[in-house]
A and B are shown apart, each in its own frame.
Chain A
Amino acid sequence: MTKVLLVDDDVELVDMLKQYLEREGFEVAVAHNGEAGVAEALTGIYTIAVLDVMMPRMNGVEALRRIRGKSRMPVLMLTAKGDDIDRIIGLELGADDYVPKPCTPRELVARIRAILRRTQVPDQEKISDAVLSIGALNIWSEQRRAEWNGKPLELTSTEFSLLDILARNAGHKVSKNELSEQGLGRPLARFDRNIDVHLSSIRQKLNSLSGDRVIIQTVYRQGYMLIKE
């Protein structure tokens, strides 16, 4: 059973979401502040964490930073803040997606499922060690890990999914909408900068290993392309 951790200071809201998610077949645990949330998340028993940005004492962004310091578990940010800045900070810190609050519980469930779909690791014995190699980049799609020149790339699950899509289409451009649908499990919304933020994060991580060589190219107003060597 999928275990979901809900971290939000709004007790009543969390209570209702818990009821809703449980009916949808999730196992739900709750935490009402950032500190407790981080502690719970790092126990490693949860498949996904849903973090509210606005919380007293430790806010969601800080909680995410702490979680990312030790774990690459999928994190969905839930927040009443509509400001883009908060969203982008969250994504740059490695949140897998962002749901603006207020949102319908149905949308929340859809987002959780989308993240889980692309991150859930299949059963151990079925994992193939099929490797996709583009130049110095090696990607084990099923194992969800990537290497550059033998050095491991530390990517969040969303970042890995996006890099995987680009690698399978290496040498061809992939539109942002395709990336959003295949990588995030939803069509690209207007003013949605999620893909760009994730891509910029992937590039930074790649560049730190490849020494500033351009590996992912931006195709102006169309999408991105992984350069095939």
Chain B
Amino acid sequence: MGRLFWKFFFFILLAQVTAIIGISGTLWLKHSTEDKLIRSTNRQAHIALVVESAEIALQQGGPEALRRLSGNLRRFQVYVIDEHNLDILGRLVSLASIEKVKASIEQGPPSVLMRKVAGPDKQTYLIFFSSMEDAWGRGAPEHHPELAPGDRPPLFEHDGPGPGGPDREPPHGGDPGAMRAPGSYYPLIPVLSALVASLLFAALLAWYMSKPIRNLRSAFIELASGKLDTRIGNTMGRRRDELADLGREFDLMAGKLHVLMESQRQLMHDVSHELRSPLARLQAAIGLARQQPEKMEATLDRLEHESVRMDKLVGELLTLSRIEAGVTGANEEISMADLIAEVVENARFEAEVNHRKLEFSGDTEVIVLGKFELLYRALENVVRNAIKHTAEGSTVTMNARPDRENSSLSISVLDQGGGVPDAELAAIFEPFFRGSQITRAQQGYGLGLTIAKRVLMAHGGVIRASNGATGGLCVEIILPCKFP
């Protein structure tokens, strides 16, 4: 498990734990507040009921009925005070409390907790709840109700979510039963199981995120170590996301690299081969010079000739490698009329020296975006190749035809030589290809048409070869262009 896994793991876990704590905390607080409200509401109703029953009993049956009522109730919490300030049931009630209740009945707002009632014996009784403190949650001793309703906010308002915050604990203890009410304690088991679940989910998610990255990393390492056939392929499974896309892009990149490296390797191989032939000739010439010093002059000519040929070969190789780097730069607007005129002029001179002719026809008034030097080399290579292979005394026909519809210029170069066997037509553009029908005298280095093809490809063009109807090779070039 790498660092990424643990980072994912801890961040996801942190997020989940925070969420759990937040949500469960909120839920718990809401729950406990509601709980308190319900409890106090219940209690309020209960007290009101007791006070009212006491009142009805007194009105209907006088003190006797009240005594019976109190006997039926387990804990009769209502004081009933007669005109002599004595409790009917004979309990001790402090005078101060009675005075306070009387005062609050006269002055304060009407309350369900206390009232004055006229009994059947025409006496006026004072009924009030025995433990006002308890009703407010203070849990005062039953016989010493410290009633101070004037000092306190009314019952309902007090127990609602007050300004002190709903989480304020009841000041001291209160009724212990109230704290044990179901749902009011912190939910430990659900929180723990949620924690475990979030642990699992965090691990799963972290693994899910970091595994493809690990795969990618090992693929990169393999690629860097030279295994160009490394592919992510199926290790991504059936994923459909950015990481799977990344894997696919990696595969594409590796494929392109593979092809590129393979062609470079092939080229290197071919180049070292090609250099060996002139080297073999050089060595043979040197051996000959040692053996036959009298022929030194001829041998030196030969050595010079060979070294010039090697220099040309190296020059063409450099051109080939420049094509890839060169065309990616800024392109210039090339007037094909100028370019073709220059190629034709130079090639015609060479053709005439070798007793061959070059004829050009067609319209070349178009503009091509690219590199003048490279396009010139490409076209020159094709034309010179044709001049080299056309029969002595024959004519190479060159034609240019702009195509407005496709914004392209097509150039064809037809020689009157032996042509190329159909099986070799595509291969003549490969580096160092040697036609089976070609004699050594006609051979260059097998790079001219390769260079032409690479240049045209770099310019978005196409080059292809076919055998003409009358024999001879026809090379056709199609180049995207603009019309002025």
Chain A positions within 8 Å of B, measured between CB atoms, are 9-13, 16-17, 19-20, 23-24, 32, 54, 56-57, 80-81, 101-106
Contact = CB atoms under 8 A, between A and B. Distances in A.
B279 A81 contact: no
Nearest to B287: A105
B215 interface: no
13 contacts: A11-B440, A13-B280, A16-B288, A19-B288, A20-B287, A23-B292, A56-B436, A56-B438, A80-B277, A80-B280, A103-B280, A105-B291, A106-B290
Nearest to A10: B277
Looking at B279, B283, B436, the one whose CB has the most chain A CB atoms below 10 A away is: B283
A153 B277 CA distance: 39
A11 B290 CA distance: 21
Given A102-B276, A102-B282, A104-B287, 6 more contacts: A10-B277, A10-B281, A16-B285, A80-B273, A102-B283, A103-B283
A56 B434 contact: yes
Contacts of B291: 20, 23-24, 105
Contact of B280 (A10, A11, A20, A56): A10
A102 B288 CA distance: 14
B288 A105 contact: yes
Contacts of A101: 276, 280
A35 B36 CA distance: 110
B436 A57 contact: yes
B287 A106 contact: yes
A102 B281 CA distance: 8
Contact of B283 (A9, A19, A56, A104): A104
A81 B281 CA distance: 15
Nearest to A109: B287
B284 interface: yes
Please tell me the size bucket of the interface on B: 20 to 34
A16 B436 contact: no
Contacts of B280: 10, 13, 80, 101-103
Nearest to B292: A23
A23 B434 CA distance: 33
B483 to A, nearest CB: 45
Contacts of A16: 281, 284-285, 287-288, 302
Contacts of B292: 19, 23
Looking at B284, B434, B438, the one whose CB has the most chain A CB atoms below 10 A away is: B284
Contacts of B276: 80, 101-102
A102 B306 CA distance: 14
A106 B288 CA distance: 9
Contact of A81 (B273, B282, B283): B273
A50 to B, nearest CB: 13
Which 8 A-B pairs give the minimum distances between C-beta atoms? A105-B287, A102-B280, A16-B284, A80-B276, A102-B279, A102-B283, A101-B280, A13-B281
Interface in B284-323: 284-288, 290-292, 302
Contacts of A12: 281, 302
Interface in B416-444: 434-436, 438, 440
Contacts of A102: 276, 279-280, 282-283
A57 B440 CA distance: 13
A144 to B, nearest CB: 32
Given A23-B291, A56-B436, A13 B277 contact: yes
A105 B434 contact: no
A206 B290 CA distance: 46
A58 B257 CA distance: 34
A216 to B, nearest CB: 36
Contacts of A56: 434-436, 438
Contacts of B302: 12, 16
A16 to B, nearest CB: 4
B468 to A, nearest CB: 23
Contact of A20 (B279, B284, B434, B438): B284
A9 B435 CA distance: 13
A57 B276 CA distance: 20
A104 B434 contact: no
A19 B287 CA distance: 10
A106 B287 CA distance: 7
Nearest to A80: B276
A24 B290 CA distance: 12
Nearest to A8: B280
A10 B306 CA distance: 13
Contacts of A19: 288, 292
Nearest to B438: A56
Nearest to B305: A12
A105 B288 CA distance: 8
Contacts of B286: 104
A163 B11 CA distance: 77
Looking at A103, A105, A106, the one whose CB has the most chain B CB atoms below 10 A away is: A105
A105 B283 contact: yes
B294 to A, nearest CB: 11
Nearest to A54: B273
A4 B65 CA distance: 150
Given A19-B292, A80-B273, A81-B273, A9 B284 contact: no
Contacts of B273: 54, 80-81
A106 B283 CA distance: 10
A17 B292 CA distance: 12
Contacts of B284: 13, 16-17, 20, 105
B282 to A, nearest CB: 7
Nearest to B272: A82
B411 to A, nearest CB: 30
A102 to B, nearest CB: 4
A184 B281 CA distance: 26
A80 B281 CA distance: 11
Nearest to B273: A80
Nearest to A83: B269
Contacts of A11: 440
Contacts of A105: 283-284, 287-288, 291
A17 to B, nearest CB: 6
A13 B273 CA distance: 15
B428 to A, nearest CB: 13
A10 B440 contact: yes
Interface in B136-194: none
Interface string B200-239: 0000000000000000000000000000000000000000
Contacts of A24: 291
A105 B283 CA distance: 7
B281 to A, nearest CB: 5
A159 B282 CA distance: 34
